[in-house]
């Protein structure tokens, strides 16, 4: 059995941007984040202010009840910046989104949404 591979899912946001963008392992525009069971994904945030709350939502694109991509987690997961999630044993293709709140130095809070990265666990023919 091979060692787990570490990946980074970096979320980039700005004060005047309505949505955030993301990089998967330093690559912009990755259509599908391909991982294997046991791999680990580090969630990081780049932008001003303090990220105060994060929700990762997942849903399987080929429906199988009660299967989720991350070990020990359901379809909606509360995390904090620099959280490391371990990919579970369920193979498949999931839609994923990240919603988060940022507190800025002037006291304002802004909410962001990272739309539609897909997470593929294992190889799919």
45 vs 71, higher pLDDT: 45
Residue 60's pLDDT is 72
- Please state, for a pLDDT cut of 90, what percent of the chain lies above it: 42
Residue environment code for 37-66, b if the CB has 16+ CB neighbours within 10 A, otherwise e: eebbbebebebebebeebebebebeeeeee
Q: Grade residue 1 by pLDDT with cuts at 50, 70 and 90.
A: low
**Distance between CA 71 and CA 90 in Å, rounded?**
9
Q: Domains plus CATH for the chain?
A: 6-107+110-114 (2.60.40)
Segment 101-124 mean pLDDT = 88
At a CB cut-off of 8 Å and minimum separation 6, what does 111 contact? 99, 100, 101, 102
Look up residue 88 and give its DSSP letter. Answer: -
pLDDT digits (tens, 9 = 90+) for 23-69: 999 999 888 899 999 999 999 999 999 999 998 887 776 655 556 67
Q: What would the mean pLDDT of 58-81 be, rounded to a whole number?
A: 68
């Amino acid at each position: 059995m091979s060692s787990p591979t570490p990946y980074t899912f970096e979320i980039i946001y700005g004060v005047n941007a309505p949505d955030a963008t993301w990089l998967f392992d330093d690559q912009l525009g990755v259509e599908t984040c391909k991982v294997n069971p046991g791999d680990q994904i580090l969630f990081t945030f780049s932008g001003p202010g303090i990220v105060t709350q994060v929700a990762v939502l997942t849903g399987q694109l080929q429906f199988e009840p009660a299967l989720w991509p991350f070990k020990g987690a359901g379809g909606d997961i509360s995390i904090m910046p620099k959280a490391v999630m371990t990919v579970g044993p369920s193979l498949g293709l999931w839609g994923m989104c990240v919603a988060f709140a940022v507190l800025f130095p002037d006291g304002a809070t802004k909410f962001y949404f990272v739309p539609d990265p897909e997470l593929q666990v294992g190889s799919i023919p």
